[in-house]
C-alpha cells in the first residue's frame, strides 16, 4: 500500500515538475519573441525615414487627399476608368499568360520530380533543386534584368512571373502527384504507351482538378505581382499608377481611379476564382493542404 | 423495351465522349488561342527587334569578370589605372599592376603578344600579333590621326575623325581627342575582399591568417567590412532589414489577426452582423494590394524598413484573418466541452480548448508566410526604399555594376532559401513539440 502511495506522490511531483518546466520554456519562448518584436520594431523605426509615432497621425492624410480629390472630380472618374481599362487588361493578361505558361512548366517539372512517375528517376533531386531555386528568385529580380535587356514592356514581367510560377506551382503539383493512383499508368505502359502518353492519359486526368485549383489561386497572386512589376517599369496598370502618382498634389484623381480599378479587379478575380476552386474541390475527399 | 434502354444509355455515353473529346481538344486550342492573342498584344515581334544584345552581353560578361582601365588624359599627359574605371578602385599615383609599366612611355601588356604603348606627344601604338602595329596620334586641331598596316580595314577596328576603337580578344583600346583608354579583362570579382587602399590587398590567404593571429585580426576585419567597393556592412544590413520587414510584418499580422479571426468565425461569434463586417474588413485589406498599401504608407512614414513591415502587416492581416477564421470554424467542439465540464471560465476554455487545437495549423500558415514574405519584402523594399531590394534596384539603375547585381541576386536567392529551410525546420520543431501532431 505504502509503496503504491509513494509512487503516486512521486508521479505527481514528476508531473508537476514537467508542467513547470514546460511553462518555463513557454514563458522563455514568449519573452524572447516579445523582445525580438520590440527590438525589431525599434530598429525598423530607427532606420525609417519618418518615425512611426509621427507618421501614424499622417496615415490617413494621403488617402483623404486622394479621396477628396476624387470626390471633387467624381464626374471625370468614368472617363479615367475608360482611359486606364486597356492597361488593366494588360496587367491581367500578363498574369494570365504567365500563369498558363508557368503552370505548363510546373506540370512537366513536377512530373519529372515525382517518385514513380519521373522519366529519369535519377534526376529527381536535380529537378527538385531546380524548382526550389526558381521559387526562391523574386519576380522583381528577373523582371529588372530583362527590362535592361529587352526594354520596358509586358514581356519581361510575364517571363519573370512565369518563371517564379513554374517553381511555386511545381512544388504544389508534385505534392498532388504523390497521391496519384499508379494503376492507369501501369495499364497504359502495358499497352506500350510512351512516357508522355502515360502522363497525359494516365496521370493528368486524375490530378487536373487539383492542378486547376492551384493554378487559379496562383492567378490571383500573379495579378498582384504583375501590378507591382508594372510599378518598376514593366507596363500595365502599375506603370500608369506610377505616372499618375508623379503628377503630385491636385492631380490625384487619376491615381484614385487606378486604385479603384485595381481594387475591384482583384476582388472580382478573387471571388470568381474562389467560387471555381470551391466547385473543383467540392465533394472530393482529397486533403487539400491549407497552404497559400 | 430493353433496346430503347440500351439505346438511351449508348446515346448518353456518346454524349459524354463527345464532351470529353471536345474538352481534350478544345481546352488546348483555347489556351493556344489566348497565348497567340497575348503574343501579339504584348508586341513580341517588335520586342525581338528592340532586344539589345549588347546589354545582354555586357551583363553576362560583367557578372563573372571585371576590367581594369588604363587611361591617359591627352591634355595633361597623366596616366591613371583604375579597376572598373571607378574612383574607389583607382591605384595610387605612380603605382600600377605588374602588367603596366609606367614612365615616360607607358607599356601595357595585354598578354598573348598584344602590347599597347603610350608614347609622348599623345601618340599611342598597339601591336597586334598577326596584324601589325597601329599608330595613332591625337591633337586638338586634327582629331585622331590613325596609321594602320596595309590591307582592308578589319571590322573590329572602328575609325572616324575623332575616335578610334579597337576591340580584340585581349582587350580594348579607345582613343579620342581628350582621352586614350585601354581596357583589360580579368575573370572574377576584383577587390571583393580588400580595396586598393588597404594594406591587405593582394595578400595570400595563408599570409592573412598568419597576420590575423599576430593581432591584426581587427584591422583585417575592419578593412574587409568597410570595403568601399562592395560595401559588405551595408549589404549585410540590407539583408537583415529585409528579413526584419518580413518578420515584423508576418508576426504583427498574426497577432492582429488572431483576435479578429475569433470575431469572424461562425462558432465563436454569434452575431451575424459582426461576422459579416469582419469578413468584409479582411477582404478589403487583402483586396487593396500590398502595392497600394506600400504607396499609402510611404507617404505617411517615408521610405524605410518600417514602411515595408507595415505594408506586409496590413495585407497579411486580411489573409491571416480569413485563414484563421476558417481554421477556427473547423475546431472540434468536444475538446471545448470537455474543458468546460471542468468548470473552466470562457478565457480558459479558449486557452485550453481551442488554442492547442488550432496552434499547429496557424503556426504552419504563419511560417509559410514568413518565407514567402521574405520574397515580398525584397520587392516592397525596391518600391519603398529599404533592404536588399533597394540596393538591387540602385545597382541596376547605374547600369554598370553588373557584378554587384549578380552578387545581390545570389544573396537574395540564398536568403530566401535559408528562410525556407529555417521556417521548415521551425515548423517541424514547434509542431512536433506541441504534442498535438498535425
CATH 1.10.3720.10 residue window(s) in chain B: 232-433
Nearest chain B residue (CA) to A225: B291
Q: What is the ipTM of this complex?
A: 0.82
What average pLDDT score do residues B350-362 get?
84
Angle at A59 between CA A53 and CA A61, to 5 degrees: 130
Substitution target in B60, B301, B397 with the highest count of A β-carbons within 10 Å is B301
Q: What is the pLDDT of residues A206-247, one digit of tens each?
A: 888 889 889 998 998 899 889 888 888 778 888 888 888 877
The per-type count for chain A, helices as H runs and strands as E runs, is 12, 0
B224 vs B191: CA distance, rounded Å: 10
**CATH number for the domain running over B232-433:** 1.10.3720.10
Q: Which residues 361-390 in chain B show a CB within 8 A of chain A?
A: 361, 364-365, 368, 375-376, 378-379, 382-383, 385-386, 389
Residue B343, all three cell numbers = 468548470
Nearest Cβ partner for B34 among A100, A135, A263: A100
Nearest Cβ partner for B248 among A37, A58, A263: A37
CB distance B64 to B187 below 8 Å? yes
Q: Do A266 and B289 touch (CB under 8 A)?
A: yes
Set of chain B residues whose Cβ sits within 8 Å of the Cβ of A59:
296-297, 300
Spell out the residues 6+ positions from residue A269 whose beta carbon is closer than 8 angstroms to its own: A92, A219, A220, A223
Set of chain A residues whose Cβ sits within 8 Å of the Cβ of B261:
none
Chain A touched by B32 (CB under 8 Å) = no
B91 vs B347: CA distance, rounded Å: 70
Q: What is the pLDDT of residues B135-155, one digit of tens each?
A: 888 877 777 888 888 777 787
CA distance, residue A132 to nearest chain B CA (Å): 8
Q: Is the pLDDT of residue A86 over 80?
A: yes
Average pLDDT value over all residues in chain A: 85
Chain A touched by B396 (CB under 8 Å) = yes
Q: How far is the CA of B264 from the CAs of A266, B274, B334, in angstroms?
A: 22, 7, 21
> What stretches of B56-119 adopt beta strand conformation (E)?
65-73, 79-83, 100-101, 106-109, 115-119
> What stretches of B91-162 adopt beta strand conformation (E)?
100-101, 106-109, 115-119, 123-128, 132-139, 143-147, 157-159
Set of chain A residues whose Cβ sits within 8 Å of the Cβ of B389:
140
Q: What is the pLDDT of residues B197-243, one digit of tens each?
A: 777 776 777 777 777 777 777 777 777 777 777 788 888 999 999 99
Q: Is the pLDDT of residue A99 over 90?
A: yes
How many CB atoms lie under 10 A from the CB of residue B65?
A: 15
The domain made up of A63-281 is a member of CATH 2.60.40.10: no
Q: Do A138 and B59 touch (CB under 8 A)?
A: no
Ordered DSSP codes for A217-286: HHHHHHHHHHHHHIIIII-SHHHHHHHHHHT-TT-HHHHHHHHHHHHHHHHHHHHHHHHHHHHHHTT---
Set of chain B residues whose Cβ sits within 8 Å of the Cβ of A93:
38, 41-42
Closest CA to B373 of B427, B311, B303: B311
What is the SS3 assignment for A45? helix
Chain A touched by B313 (CB under 8 Å) = no
A161 vs A156: CA distance, rounded Å: 9
Lowest average pLDDT, out of A114-118, A149-153, A191-195, B87-91, goes to B87-91
Domain ranges of chain A: 2-59, 63-281
- Burial degree of A181 (CB within 10 A; 0-12, 13-18, 19+): exposed
How many CB atoms lie under 10 A from the CB of residue B330?
A: 12
Amino acid at each position: 500500500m505504502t509503496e503504491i502511495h509513494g509512487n503516486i506522490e512521486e508521479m505527481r511531483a514528476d508531473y508537476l515538475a514537467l508542467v513547470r518546466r514546460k511553462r518555463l520554456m513557454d514563458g522563455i519562448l514568449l519573452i524572447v519573441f516579445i523582445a525580438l518584436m520590440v527590438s525589431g520594431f525599434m530598429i525598423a523605426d530607427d532606420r525609417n525615414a519618418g518615425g512611426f509615432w509621427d507618421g501614424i497621425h499622417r496615415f490617413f492624410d494621403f488617402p483623404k487627399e486622394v479621396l477628396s480629390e476624387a470626390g471633387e472630380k467624381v464626374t471625370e472618374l468614368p472617363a479615367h476608368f475608360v482611359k486606364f481599362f486597356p492597361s488593366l487588361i494588360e496587367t491581367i493578361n500578363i498574369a494570365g499568360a504567365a500563369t498558363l505558361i508557368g503552370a505548363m512548366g510546373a506540370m512537366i517539372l513536377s512530373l519529372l520530380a515525382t517518385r514513380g512517375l519521373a522519366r529519369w528517376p535519377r534526376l529527381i533531386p536535380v529537378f527538385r533543386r531546380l524548382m526550389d531555386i526558381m521559387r526562391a528568385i523574386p519576380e522583381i529580380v528577373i523582371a529588372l534584368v530583362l527590362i535592361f535587356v529587352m526594354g520596358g514592356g509586358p514581356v519581361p514581367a510575364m517571363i519573370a512571373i512565369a518563371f517564379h510560377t513554374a517553381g511555386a506551382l511545381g512544388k504544389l503539383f508534385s505534392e498532388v502527384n504523390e497521391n496519384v493512383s499508379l494503376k492507369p499508368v501501369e495499364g497504359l505502359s502495358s499497352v506500350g504507351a510512351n512516357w508522355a502518353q502515360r502522363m497525359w492519359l494516365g496521370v493528368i486526368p486524375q490530378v487536373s482538378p487539383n492542378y486547376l485549383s492551384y493554378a487559379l489561386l496562383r492567378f490571383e497572386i500573379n495579378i498582384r505581382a504583375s501590378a507591382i512589376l508594372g510599378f518598376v517599369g514593366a507596363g500595365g496598370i502599375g506603370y500608369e499608377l506610377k505616372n499618375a502618382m508623379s503628377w503630385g498634389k491636385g492631380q490625384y484623381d487619376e491615381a484614385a481611379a487606378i486604385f479603384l480599378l485595381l481594387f475591384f479587379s482583384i476582388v472580382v478575380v478573387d471571388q470568381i476564382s474562389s467560387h471555381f476552386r470551391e466547385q473543383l474541390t467540392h465533394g472530393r475527399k482529397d486533403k487539400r493542404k491549407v497552404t497559400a | 423495351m430493353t433496346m430503347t434502354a440500351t439505346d438511351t444509355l449508348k446515346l448518353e455515353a456518346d454524349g459524354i465522349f463527345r464532351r470529353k473529346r471536345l474538352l481534350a481538344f478544345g481546352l488546348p486550342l483555347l489556351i493556344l488561342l489566348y497565348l497567340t492573342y497575348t503574343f501579339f498584344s504584348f508586341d513580341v515581334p517588335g520586342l525581338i527587334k528592340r532586344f539589345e544584345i549588347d546589354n545582354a552581353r555586357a551583363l553576362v560578361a560583367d557578372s563573372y569578370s571585371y576590367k581594369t582601365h588604363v587611361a591617359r588624359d591627352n591634355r595633361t599627359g597623366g596616366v591613371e589605372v583604375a579597376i572598373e574605371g571607378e574612383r574607389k578602385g583607382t591605384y595610387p599615383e605612380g603605382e600600377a599592376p605588374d602588367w603596366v609599366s609606367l614612365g615616360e612611355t607607358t607599356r601595357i601588356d595585354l598578354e598573348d603578344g598584344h602590347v599597347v604603348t603610350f608614347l609622348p606627344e599623345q601618340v599611342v601604338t598597339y601591336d597586334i600579333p598577326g596584324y601589325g602595329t597601329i599608330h595613332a596620334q591625337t591633337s586638338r586641331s586634327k582629331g585622331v590621326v590613325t596609321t594602320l598596316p596595309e590591307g582592308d580595314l578589319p571590322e573590329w577596328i572602328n575609325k572616324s575623325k575623332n575616335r578610334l576603337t579597337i576591340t580584340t580578344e585581349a582587350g580594348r583600346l579607345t582613343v579620342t581627342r581628350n582621352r586614350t583608354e585601354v581596357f583589360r579583362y580579368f575573370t572574377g570579382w576584383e577587390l571583393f575582399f580588400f580595396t586598393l587602399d588597404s594594406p591587405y590587398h593582394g595578400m595570400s590567404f595563408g599570409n592573412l591568417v598568419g597576420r590575423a593571429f599576430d593581432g591584426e585580426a581587427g584591422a583585417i576585419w575592419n578593412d574587409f567590412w568597410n570595403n568601399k567597393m562592395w560595401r559588405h556592412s551595408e549589404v549585410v544590413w540590407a539583408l537583415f532589414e529585409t528579413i526584419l520587414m518580413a518578420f515584423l510584418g508576418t508576426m504583427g499580422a498574426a497577432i492582429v489577426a488572431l483576435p479578429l479571426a475569433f470575431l469572424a468565425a461562425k462558432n465563436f461569434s454569434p452575431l451575424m452582423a459582426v461576422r459579416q463586417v469582419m469578413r468584409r474588413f479582411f477582404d478589403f485589406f487583402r483586396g487593396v494590394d500590398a502595392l497600394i498599401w506600400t504607396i499609402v504608407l510611404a507617404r505617411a512614414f517615408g521610405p524605410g524598413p518600417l514602411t515595408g513591415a507595415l505594408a506586409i502587416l496590413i495585407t497579411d492581416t486580411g489573409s491571416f484573418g480569413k485563414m484563421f477564421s476558417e481554421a477556427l470554424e473547423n475546431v472540434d467542439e468536444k475538446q471545448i466541452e470537455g474543458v468546460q465540464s471542468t468548470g473552466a471560465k470562457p478565457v480558459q476554455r479558449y486557452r485550453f480548448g481551442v488554442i492547442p487545437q488550432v496552434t499547429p495549423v496557424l503556426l504552419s500558415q504563419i511560417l509559410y508566410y514568413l518565407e514567402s514574405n521574405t520574397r515580398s519584402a525584397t520587392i516592397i523594399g525596391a518600391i519603398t526604399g529599404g533592404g536588399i531590394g533597394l540596393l538591387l534596384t540602385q545597382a541596376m539603375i547605374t547600369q554598370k555594376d553588373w557584378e554587384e547585381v549578380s552578387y545581390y541576386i545570389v544573396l537574395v536567392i540564398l536568403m530566401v532559401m535559408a528562410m525556407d529551410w529555417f521556417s521548415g525546420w521551425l515548423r517541424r520543431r514547434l509542431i512536433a513539440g506541441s504534442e498535438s501532431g498535425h
